[in-house]
Amino acid sequence: ADKRLIHRVGPLTPLKPLAEINTAIPARSKQLRLITRSDENKYLNRAKWVDPGFMLRGTYPEVSLVRLYAPGHNLENFVPEVIATNSGARVNSMILSAGRGEPMDILFENPKGNPSYLVYLVPKDKRTNPSTSWEPKAGLVLQTKWARRGLRSSDRLPEFLKAFNGTANPVGSSLVDNIHHAFAIHRMPEYETSRQGGFGLHHYKGFFKVGKTGKYRFATISRYDSYISVDDKLVIGWPGRHDVNRARRGEKQGTISLESGVHKLEYFLCSPWREMFAVAAWKKPGEELRVMTRTDFVGVGRFRAVSADLSEPNQVYAALEWSPIDDFRLEQTGPCFVTMQFDAIKPDPVTRYSYRWAFDDGTTAEGKTVEHVFLRSGLRKVRLEVALEGKTLARSEHEVYVHPPWDKCFMNLNDTDSFDKVIRQRDLNKTPPKDLANLFILADKADQPGWKELATTGLTGNLAALVQESEDTNFIFDFGRYLLRPELKLYGKSLELFNRLRQKSNAKTSVRQQAGICEAEILTAYFGKNDQALAVLKQLPAANSIRDNLARRLAMANAQAMLGLGRTTESVQLVEQLSASSGSAGKTNLKVKHAGLIRHSRVLAENQTDPNQLDYAMANIETVVTEDPAAIFSPGVNLVKLDIHLARAEFHAAFHLTERLKNLQLSDYDIAEVLTRQVFASCGMKNIKIAKAVYAQLSKDYPYSPATEKAKQAIVQAIGRQ
């Protein structure tokens, strides 16, 4: 019996439950056998769940597709030469797509009876055969481009074509099943940060077959400009923005007479980049209007690479293939984890080789086929070593563009078990900072405190690498502020992070300015190192050379540090200048508003233990100070702020605030209240010596104040807890 393997497909998963095999069956075959395999024995009993079926097409497809991988090489620099093995003749071909870090998709002529082909990848500068204008008249191809501007209300199809063939930037091109997409299946590469927003120009081109001559009706559903042409004749034009519900009722239709045979259909769509919606429908004579499906278009065959080699003789090539098989994300585009499958292509079908994989996140794996979870999408480095009897024969390293399947809707948002297992088993000390940052962001959005804790530990363990490698300064600022949270109190780590960012030589000036201000604020608020804070601020550009909001923060940081050093007059003058520059319009309304915010914050500080409510109270105080800088000298505002710090167990911040307030001219009542809170803060810091010294001053100066008795009780309780 002939036991040759006809075709092999990758694993079936809940996200990929269907495997399609397109192949020619050897002549005189009487039996087809489906074999299921699993690396884990516990899954073998599920083989009976596989439901096979087949359909005889009867004819060979005239056009076929093959996907080629060439690790170690940038396929954008190559062109294919496709040779039929049974005749040695070159066949027409064209590149469908070849992006950085991605495989090359090739469409080529498939004369009847050709079971296999050789594909030579030739450097563009060494190609001798001239390119042809061959057009594959089968399937349906979607080509996507990006433009900074969309179409005007007066623009029509000619203007679309001018933009599409002119200034628009290519994004992707692929074979699709139908014109039925609610989001762009071609995404902007994540390493291309200069293109955000803008408009997508989508061009579908396919070939469909009609069995009889007659009138055929077509319809479009879209939110923005869409056009349908058949055999280069415009059938439907629907410019501008419109209600998609009108289209669902089949409002935009057009009719054209067609003879039996193969015809070309083109669908054009221009829409904002994140708002794609395109559907094409048709009505055959005597039938109902329906969406065009895959079977309406001329079929395309599919071939698979079974071996790969280099042009150099006697040199083994470590060839590999890859594809996304699973992912976790909370929105269609954005942060995600991706599970990739990697397959090594055997140098020859007989020899038993061993394979070792190494990934850029510090993990390794062994085996011909492996799965790996990347904690961040983007260009990732993968290395494959092929060995025989312990001796390495070949090695290849390649940048792989890791991303979720573009055409897959995100699902199973609560199914995190498999990813949770990987995250907890992985050595995050070796994980790149960008991966940990992505883990932190997803953990926050997915409400996974365990992931967030692990990411925080990993990031704080290597802040130097985070600042050096990450280009996302917004995340760095957010993470630095997160480290100051009451439940963490990682003041030193936050200070180190902002210090490193301030000294990063290739960072933008505005970023270094903002980092310096954050550093100074931490030095003053949490460490009481006011002289160091002023030294940092002096190294920053003058206030009039930075943005208004940063100039305000710079002035406030200077004022707080001066107050802490007893330079009260200078601090007041600086704040008065800042207040004068903000104008006097609406001062009365602001006073009323601020009185309400302060009163509300006082109530929350005295009665709430909920961290969210205390955060809200502190946000109210920050609003007051931002809108009225002079409020930093207000006893009422600062006493409430002290109470919030104490309620959140931020004893260091409370202590250093009381030290600054002691440099103000306060009433006896306010001085007693400030000193009492300094006793509370000292007890919270477990510094009973300072607490007793402050209490002694209270007893001497304000022996009959109720605040003095509160301070005494706090010290007694603190000693009792020791």
User: Is the model's pLDDT at 105 over the cut of 80?
Assistant: yes
Amino acid 52: pLDDT: 65
Q: Which of 199, 197, 206 is nearest to 168 (CA)?
A: 199
Q: Which of 231, 302, 309, 239 is nearest to 269 (CA)?
A: 239
CATH topology of domain 462-581: 1.25.40
Instruction: Please report the sign of the dihedral spanned by the C-alpha atoms of residue 167, residue 195, residue 237, residue 299.
Output: positive
Amino acid 375: pLDDT: 96
Q: How large is the average pLDDT for residues 36-65?
A: 69
Q: Which of 539, 491, 493, 535 is nearest to 512 (CA)?
A: 539
Give the Å distances, CA to CA, from 697 to 66, 291, 639, 679. Answer: 85, 85, 19, 11
**Cβ atoms of 357 and 342 closer than 8 Å:** yes
Amino acid 61: pLDDT: 86
> Which class is 587-721 in CATH?
mainly alpha
Q: How large is the average pLDDT for residues 393-413?
A: 81
**How many distinct helices (H) and strands (E) make up the chain?**
19, 25
The half-sphere exposure of 445 on its side-chain side, counting CA atoms within 13 A, is 14
Which 8-state DSSP code applies to residue 27?
T
- The matching CATH number, chosen from 2.60.120.1560, 3.40.50.720, 2.40.160.40, 1.10.3720.10, for 140-299 is 2.60.120.1560
Amino acid 275: pLDDT: 87
User: Which two structure tokens, joined as six digits, stand for 78?
Assistant: 């190559």
DSSP codes of every residue in 352-408: --EEEEEETTS-EEESSEEEEEESS-EEEEEEEEEEETTEEEEEEEEEEEE---TTP
E strands, 441-512, are none
Residue 193 pLDDT level (bands cut at 50, 70, 90):
very low
Q: Which of 517, 555, 552 is nearest to 533 (CA)?
A: 517
**Conformational region of residue 448, where left means phi above 0, alpha means psi within -120 to 50, and beta covers everything else:** beta
Burial of residue 29 (CB within 10 Å: 0-12, 13-18, 19+) is exposed
Q: What is the pLDDT of residues 336-385, one digit of tens each?
A: 999 999 999 888 777 889 999 999 999 999 999 999 999 999 999 999 99
Those residues whose C-beta lies under 8 Å from the C-beta of residue 153, and which sit 6 or more positions away, are: 239, 240
* Strand order, beta sheet including 261-272: 169-175, 140-147, 199-210, 261-272, 226-230, 233-238
Residue 60 pLDDT level (bands cut at 50, 70, 90):
confident
The half-sphere exposure of 292 on its side-chain side, counting CA atoms within 13 A, is 34
**Cβ atoms of 113 and 65 closer than 8 Å:** no
Domain map (residue ranges) of the chain:
140-299, 462-581, 587-721
**Cβ atoms of 320 and 396 closer than 8 Å:** yes
User: Which two structure tokens, joined as six digits, stand for 122?
Assistant: 């030739």
Residue 72 pLDDT level (bands cut at 50, 70, 90):
confident
- C-alpha 183: how far from its chain's center? 16
Residue 722 pLDDT level (bands cut at 50, 70, 90):
confident
**Cβ atoms of 210 and 261 closer than 8 Å:** yes
C-alpha span between 380 and 371 (Å, rounded)? 14
C-alpha span between 139 and 178 (Å, rounded)? 9
C-alpha span between 574 and 584 (Å, rounded)? 17
Amino acid 18: pLDDT: 65
462-581 shares its CATH topology with 587-721? yes
User: Is the model's pLDDT at 20 over the cut of 80?
Assistant: no
DSSP codes of every residue in 620-689: HHHHHHHH-GGGGG-HHHHHHHHHHHHHTT-HHHHHHHHHHHTTS---HHHHHHHHHHHHHHHHHTT-HH
Strand 301-303 relative to strand 354-359, pairing: unpaired
DSSP codes of every residue in 704-718: T-HHHHHHHHHHHHH
- C-alpha 367: how far from its chain's center? 30
Those residues whose C-beta lies under 8 Å from the C-beta of residue 310, and which sit 6 or more positions away, are: 317
* pTM, 2 dp: 0.83
Least reliable range by pLDDT among 539-543, 581-585, 663-667: 581-585
User: Is the model's pLDDT at 503 over the cut of 80?
Assistant: yes
For residue 346, report the phi and psi dihedrals to the nearest 5 degrees.
Answer: -65, 135
For residue 137, report the phi and psi dihedrals to the nearest 5 degrees.
Answer: -95, 65
Q: Which of 429, 438, 434, 425 is nearest to 362 (CA)?
A: 429
Q: How large is the average pLDDT for residues 279-293?
A: 93
Amino acid 99: pLDDT: 86
User: Which two structure tokens, joined as six digits, stand for 573?
Assistant: 């003058």
User: Is the model's pLDDT at 616 over the cut of 80?
Assistant: yes
Percentage of residues of the chain with pLDDT beyond 70: 88
Burial of residue 689 (CB within 10 Å: 0-12, 13-18, 19+) is exposed
Q: What is the pLDDT of residues 618-660, one digit of tens each?
A: 999 999 999 999 999 999 999 999 999 999 999 999 999 999 9
Q: How large is the average pLDDT for residues 280-289?
A: 94
The half-sphere exposure of 602 on its side-chain side, counting CA atoms within 13 A, is 12
**Cβ atoms of 96 and 302 closer than 8 Å:** no
Burial of residue 721 (CB within 10 Å: 0-12, 13-18, 19+) is exposed
User: Is the model's pLDDT at 410 over the cut of 80?
Assistant: no
Residue 51 pLDDT level (bands cut at 50, 70, 90):
low
C-alpha span between 213 and 296 (Å, rounded)? 16
Q: What is the pLDDT of residues 464-482, one digit of tens each?
A: 999 999 989 999 999 999 9
User: Is the model's pLDDT at 543 over the cut of 60?
Assistant: no
List the end-to-end C-alpha distance of the chain, in Å, as a whole number.
Answer: 85
**Cβ atoms of 590 and 627 closer than 8 Å:** yes
C-alpha span between 123 and 126 (Å, rounded)? 5
Q: What is the pLDDT of residues 571-584, one digit of tens each?
A: 999 999 988 876 65
Amino acid 128: pLDDT: 76
Give the Å distances, CA to CA, from 364 to 360, 417, 423, 439. Answer: 9, 21, 15, 20
Per-range mean pLDDT, top range of 169-178, 580-589, 635-644:
635-644
- As a whole number of Å, the CA-based R_g of the chain is 34
Least reliable range by pLDDT among 16-20, 57-61, 288-292, 534-538: 16-20
**Cβ atoms of 448 and 416 closer than 8 Å:** yes
Q: How large is the average pLDDT for residues 84-100?
A: 90
Amino acid 39: pLDDT: 63
Q: How large is the average pLDDT for residues 680-708?
A: 95
